[in-house]
Structure 1
Amino acid sequence: RYKSTLVGPHKDDFSFIINGCDLKAFGSQGQQRTAVLSVKLAEIELIKAETNKYPLLLLDDVFSELDEDRKALLLEYLTDRVQTFISSAEPLQTKAKVVPYWIEAGRISERI
């Protein structure tokens, strides 16, 4: 009847309290994104501890709200550790070991 699930983990809300302040109300977009990424990276380490393997990580437009330092730290953490697919509307400017692919008009091409 509703054509969607009314309950489940996708309906849950996390509250991040930093120095007594709710991050959702008082944090910047970058601070909120960093908090969520911290939980995701902790989850990756938990999976690694349980299975002895890192999971495949999919990140959609993860860099849009991060400053350059946080972008670099995230890429440093992921490089040579976790196979990661990152989608982005903008080209990534980095010295990290990444292989960029472009999707244009339904065609995939590698850009170096």
Structure 2
Amino acid sequence: MWSWVAHRITGVLTFFFLFAHVLDTALVRVSPDSYDKVIETYKNPFVNLMEVGLVGAVLYHALNGLRIIAVDFWSKGPRLQRQMLWIIVGVWVVVMVPGAFFMLKHTVETLTGSK
């Protein structure tokens, strides 16, 4: 049940990101200067953490979506759904740990003043 809840939450979060992304990208047609100012506000550590969360949400949503497809269309899917859930959690961790490291590396260097 928690995987179902997480799938819905990550789907909604992804939708809201895409909505905001379309709006801020459309701003370039209205006023390039305003667009540049908005993009400049995104260059801070908090937004970088939100980007890591976004990547985690999209990755989980995609992997869990594949699991749901397997459960629905594979004859052994319902019987193996719990094992498949742990597999996608494992794949998620294996991909997210180095991904988060490289995404946060620049922010940590900026905050600590080291290179």
Query: TM-score normalised to the size of structure 1?
Result: 0.38
Q: Which structure has greater strand proportion?
A: 1
Q: Which has the higher contact order (CA 8 A, sep 6+)?
A: 2
Q: Which structure has greater helix proportion?
A: 2
Query: TM-score normalised to the size of structure 2?
Result: 0.37
